[in-house]
Chain A
Amino acid sequence: MATGSDILKVTDLTHEVALGSGTLRILHNVNLSIGAGESVAIVGRSGSGKTTLLGLLAGLDTPTHGRIELDGQPISQMSEDERASLRARRVGFVFQSFQLLPALTALENVMLPLELAGQTDASDQATELLRRVGLGERLQHTPRQLSGGEQQRVAIARAFAAHPKILFADEPTGNLDNNTGQAVSDLLMALNREQGTTLVMVTHDEHLAARCGRQLHIEAGEVSENGVVPAQGVAV
């Protein structure tokens, strides 16, 4: 599956964190690649390292060992600021706990990435997106005045605002009830399709995982395709 149009390519990724007593190995020798436009679900038990992996793929942190290429750029070797500007241009996020800024209105939350990218019509674009996610009437509400599902929809609008090439979602429905979760994941998949975005999503939800083109299983820090641990050193 390693093609020329891989948007994400991970080689021999190992991640450890220092604990008081020693080091904890969270990810061990991960190899994978994801093609442009693919949708990939990462599944695994709680504490298995999904969030850690996602963060590394998105360049929010640097791995202890190994190499990560995002859109052809070796992010594992880039400086924090270089990664930041790559994120600003190419990457969108949706978090399990929404991560909206409580002091800002829905509109302002969605405007954030647009402003960072230096767009002058941030307000119009954000309004349009909020309308698209069904919150056209709630522009001036702050997160505390919105329900969980509504908050996550704001977060999704924010994630797509800067037209990212790749979107990372960490259990986007994890804090929502079934119906709401369903609606939110519908929205996520729909926008993903519309914008031709690559989607990398951590989820517990088997239905949601099944709607992705591919599933990666993670267990005790090791990643396998559909539950099969790939042979050492072979890119999948």
Chain B
Amino acid sequence: MAATQLARSNRDWRQRDVRVLVAALIVAVATVATIALYASHLERTLVTSASAFLAGDRQLERENGQPVPQAWRDEAERQGLATARMVEFSTMVFGGGNFQLVSVKAVSDSYPLRGQVEFQADTDAPRQMLSHGPGPGDVWLNPRLLRLLGLEIGGTVEVGNRDLKVTGLLIREPDAGFSMSALAPRIMMHADDVPATGVIQPGSRVEYVNLFAGADDALERFHAWLEPKLGPSDEWKSIQDGQALSDSLTKARRFLLLGGSLAVLLASVAVAVASRQYAMGQRDTVALLKTLGVPGRRISRLYRVRLLVWGMTGTLLGILLALPVFWGLASLTAGMLDRKMDYSVDVLSLWPALVTALVALFAFAYPPIQRLRRVPAMRVLRSQPGEAGRGVWMDVVIAVIAVFGLLWLYAGELWMVLALLGGLAALLGILALAGWLLVLGLRRVVGSGNAWRLALVGLYRHRRASLSQIAVFAMTLMLAATLILVRSSLLDDWQAQLPADAPNHFLINIGPEAVDEVRDFLGKHDLSTDELYPMVRGRLTEINGKPVREAVSKDREVRALNRELNLTWMQDLPSDNQIVKGNWFQPGQTEGLSIESELAQRLGVTLGDRLTFTIGSQTITEPVTSIRTVQWDSMKPNFYMVFPPGGALDGLPATWITSFYLGSSRKGILNDFTRRFPTISVLEIDHIIDRIREIVQQVTQAIEAILAMILAAAIVVMAAVVSATLQDRQREGALLRTLGGRQRLLVNSTMLEFALLGLFAGILGVLAGEVAVWALQYRMFEGAFHWHWRVVLLLPLVSAAVLAVFGRWQLNPVLRVSPMLLLRRLE
């Protein structure tokens, strides 16, 4: 039929508006898909790399000295899980004529299930990454221990009744966990050799650990089976439980989600702008179709089909575009970490992109196009006043509901959605007010040959377009600002948490008599130490006179109750702790205690509650006088419970603990130290810190990449919006030139007009961004909020500059040719 010919898709394609719409959709789908793919990829690498901290996906730790039953491992294997065994204990070993207290880790053949062991065949041999531990009869030593014992590779170490041959050096084990029991230098041997040593007697302090690895659902199933069988000394550990790292990972995951959500929002804005523009442009065609007798229903169907065609085209192209971008990003991080590149695509993670495309199409593109059928045929002859604005509010409401529903579905973080919604609401509120002021203020400006005035008049003239452009720019900038701000505070956070000289060694078990000497030693070697904290080990037994087991409801899993806590006393609040309730100890105060806030919450303890601790054979009871937050990821000694000096802990047997930074080139100092203070344990966590740094670096890279992508998408959106009024502005430029406007005037006034638009949008966007960041920061990233003056000042200027350049660029065709030719073109 000839009438539908007018509305054929391929003809449409020649229209700019359609191309913009499809481009917006492509960008939308590509951004969301890339972020989703990348996030899932990152999650996989991070989890694998984090799982390495456990040497498996899960650990079962048993502290009561009884081996884990073989039947449990059999069940795990039946569920398709891989398993490995570990036994950890401390003992004296003999070698090279010396005795030395060591911490033994005996492992089965399949250890490690995740991660690798860093190994050196000899002191000057290259380091190797191995996927196994020592074989039966072999032992690997910590290099420092080799020197302490005065042994060579090939020498013999006696562990109890068993002679083991030193076949290499243990540089780093993947699961070099940070636990107080790992006090002495490490040796690693085979688990099958343990019985022969005869070291483990009933009642020995020994920890049996089983490792499991496999698919998530299998792990879940196995855990469900296992749970009822677990005793009080059994602990089921996943990577989420490792404080320092899991905090960083949670934040990183949230950031990725935030980035993805912003991409969804931006994409929706782009599609909305483009489709609205398209619908406006189609009104004449629709009116013509109606005069030709095509019924409204048919027209609707016509446009629906076309919407579907472009939707599929855009989605497909978007995904095709996302793949290489994703691979590029993935190879970037892989290259940085010397990891093998993982090209696999998680198809399931594409769903947000597909749903985004659908929602964008049907919540944003469809309503204005659907309304086309209402265009009166009379329009062919004369446009009807007021036609443009009808039904827009309904569209906006539908769109907002759709997008935030989508966000919620996607991110699953109500707070994030609310924060962004709050930011947007603030933005629209300010914008409505500012728009009203703008119209009021600019009405009085009268144009003159002056570029400033012409620019202001221009803003007023195009107030409707100007306001909607400002709204879109401001929204885009708000999203960009949110991401920039969250990113920098996240990175600052991490930077602060792991400065180059973050403490990477702990000294434990410092007797009271050695405290001053240790301080001297560290001072002499120029080792910046934090502070020496006294430590008393005790168990929390009662809350307000009731046994803890009863006081704390059963379903709350409180690990701190299963083991002894480290209690300390101090006068000054550590700088990274923060009092959230109550007051820190006054000088001279000896009463009371300060409890860490999360533990207090889990125990249901508040100010004034009386806690009773059992320390050896004594008990002490003190009221809670303050609740404080602790920076667990600070790599410094941190304590759940703090008492005042001279308080309840006074006179109880204490040892001291401290941490300091030691560069790898100065490791030799540790030998002097151990020789001089044989009873003090040195805990080397430099490898853990390196590991965390590595992960943080990877995440940082990801964050930067996503930020860059979002900014690119933002620029595309802005370009789409600017180009929506391109033709009008070019016509205006041509006419102004004909009427005698000088080129300079035209250039200046246009650039000024756009710069003002950009400045205004920038200010709005950055303010709304701050609102969103404030909310996000408060709930999701747990950082303190502060104004980001640099961004607040810079972003509006940058956006003004960018838009001015856009404005100048769109004038190009107007300036290059004679007015005569321009007029001919515009006829």
A115 touches B448 (CB 8 A): yes
Q: Does B616 contact A (CB under 8 A)?
A: no
Given known pairs A81-B744, A84-B741, A145-B385, the reply for A116 and B449 (CB within 8 Å) is yes
Q: In the docked arrangement, what's the CA distance between A156 and B820, Å?
A: 19
B461 touches A144 (CB 8 A): no
Q: Which of A99, A147, A158 contacts B823, CB < 8 Å?
A: A99
> Who on chain B is nearest to A158 by CB?
B739
Q: Does A95 contact B (CB under 8 A)?
A: yes
Q: Does B818 contact A (CB under 8 A)?
A: yes
B740 touches A113 (CB 8 A): yes
Q: Does B495 contact A (CB under 8 A)?
A: no
> Who on chain B is nearest to A99 by CB?
B735
Q: Which residues of B contact A89 (CB under 8 A)?
A: 740
Q: Does B71 contact A (CB under 8 A)?
A: no
Q: Which of B445-466 contact A (CB under 8 A)?
A: 446-450, 453-454, 457, 461-462, 465
> Who on chain B is nearest to A159 by CB?
B739
Q: Does B808 contact A (CB under 8 A)?
A: no
Interface string of A101-113 (1 = CB under 8 A from B): 1111000100111
Q: In the docked arrangement, what's the CA distance between A104 and B823, Å?
A: 18
Q: Which of B447, B819, B826 contacts A115, CB < 8 Å?
A: B447
> Who on chain A is nearest to B732 by CB?
A101
A101 touches B449 (CB 8 A): no
Q: Which residues of A contact B448 (CB under 8 A)?
A: 115, 118-120
> Who on chain A is nearest to B465 by CB?
A103
> Who on chain B is nearest to A101 by CB?
B732
A145 touches B383 (CB 8 A): yes
Given known pairs A84-B743, A99-B826, A113-B740, the reply for A108 and B446 (CB within 8 Å) is no
Q: Does A16 contact B (CB under 8 A)?
A: no
Shortest beta-carbon distance, A76 to chain B, in Å? 13
Q: Which residues of A contact B820 (CB under 8 A)?
A: 52, 55-56, 60-61
Q: Does B636 contact A (CB under 8 A)?
A: no
Q: In the docked arrangement, what's the CA distance between A80 and B821, Å?
A: 14
Q: Which residues of A contact B728 (CB under 8 A)?
A: 101-103
Q: Which of A61, A85, A111 contacts B742, CB < 8 Å?
A: A85
A91 touches B732 (CB 8 A): no
Shortest beta-carbon distance, A61 to chain B, in Å? 4
A93 touches B738 (CB 8 A): yes
B738 touches A60 (CB 8 A): yes
Q: Does A87 contact B (CB under 8 A)?
A: yes
Q: Which residues of A contact B737 (CB under 8 A)?
A: 84
Q: Which residues of B contact A85 (CB under 8 A)?
A: 740, 742
Q: Does A215 contact B (CB under 8 A)?
A: no
B736 touches A116 (CB 8 A): yes
> Who on chain B is nearest to A91 by CB?
B740
Q: Which residues of B contact A101 (CB under 8 A)?
A: 728, 731-732, 735
Q: Which residues of B contact A52 (CB under 8 A)?
A: 820
> Who on chain B is nearest to A111 by CB?
B447
Q: How large is the interface on A (under 10, 10 to 19, 20 to 34, 35 or more residues)?
A: 35 or more
Q: In the docked arrangement, what's the CA distance between A101 and B743, Å?
A: 19
Q: In the docked arrangement, what's the CA distance between A44 and B740, Å?
A: 28
A103 touches B732 (CB 8 A): yes
Q: In the docked arrangement, what's the CA distance between A142 and B196, Å?
A: 99
Q: Which residues of A contact B824 (CB under 8 A)?
A: 51
Q: Which residues of B contact A91 (CB under 8 A)?
A: 740
> Who on chain A is nearest to B739 by CB?
A113
Q: Which of A57-76 contact B (CB under 8 A)?
A: 60-62
Q: How large is the interface on B (under 10, 10 to 19, 20 to 34, 35 or more residues)?
A: 35 or more
Q: Does A123 contact B (CB under 8 A)?
A: yes
Q: Which residues of A contact B383 (CB under 8 A)?
A: 144-145
Q: In the docked arrangement, what's the CA distance between A92 and B250, Å?
A: 69
> Who on chain B is nearest to A104 by CB?
B461
Shortest beta-carbon distance, B826 to chain A, in Å? 7
Q: Does B526 contact A (CB under 8 A)?
A: no
Interface string of B795-826 (1 = CB under 8 A from A): 00000000000000000000000111101101
Q: Does A208 contact B (CB under 8 A)?
A: no
B450 touches A118 (CB 8 A): yes
Q: Does A86 contact B (CB under 8 A)?
A: yes
Q: Which residues of A contact B819 (CB under 8 A)?
A: 55, 60-61
B740 touches A84 (CB 8 A): yes
Q: Which of A88-147 contact B (CB under 8 A)?
A: 88-89, 91, 93, 95, 97, 99, 101-104, 108, 111-123, 141, 144-145, 147
> Who on chain A is nearest to B462 by CB?
A103
Q: In the docked arrangement, what's the CA distance between A51 and B820, Å?
A: 9
Shortest beta-carbon distance, B447 to chain A, in Å? 3
B742 touches A97 (CB 8 A): no
Q: Which residues of B contact A102 (CB under 8 A)?
A: 728, 731
A122 touches B382 (CB 8 A): no
Q: Which of B433-487 contact A (CB under 8 A)?
A: 446-450, 453-454, 457, 461-462, 465
A80 touches B743 (CB 8 A): yes
Q: Does B827 contact A (CB under 8 A)?
A: yes
Q: Which of A93, A99, A115, A121 contacts B457, CB < 8 Å?
A: A115
Q: Which residues of B contact A158 (CB under 8 A)?
A: 739
> Who on chain B is nearest to A86 by CB?
B740
> Who on chain A is nearest to B443 by CB?
A123
Shortest beta-carbon distance, B280 to chain A, in Å? 12
Q: Which residues of B contact A62 (CB under 8 A)?
A: 818
Q: Which residues of B contact A88 (CB under 8 A)?
A: 739-741
Shortest beta-carbon distance, B613 to chain A, in Å? 77
Shortest beta-carbon distance, A123 to chain B, in Å? 7
B738 touches A112 (CB 8 A): no
Q: In the docked arrangement, what's the CA distance between A80 and B732, Å?
A: 18
Which 10 A-B pairs rank lowest in CB-CB distance, beginning with the nearest?
A: A88-B740, A115-B447, A87-B740, A118-B449, A61-B820, A144-B383, A118-B448, A55-B820, A60-B820, A61-B818
Interface residues of A (CB under 8 A from B): 51-52, 55-56, 60-62, 80-81, 84-89, 91, 93, 95, 97, 99, 101-104, 108, 111-123, 141, 144-145, 147, 158, 162
Given contacts A91-B740, A103-B732, 19 further A-B contacts (CB under 8 A): A60-B820, A61-B819, A85-B740, A101-B732, A102-B728, A102-B731, A103-B465, A108-B461, A115-B446, A115-B447, A115-B453, A116-B449, A116-B739, A116-B741, A117-B449, A117-B740, A120-B446, A145-B382, A158-B739
Chosen A-B contacts, 24 in total, with CB atoms closer than 8 Å, are A55-B823, A60-B820, A62-B818, A81-B743, A87-B738, A87-B739, A88-B739, A89-B740, A93-B739, A99-B735, A99-B823, A101-B735, A102-B731, A103-B465, A113-B739, A115-B447, A116-B739, A117-B740, A119-B448, A145-B382, A145-B383, A145-B385, A162-B739, A162-B740
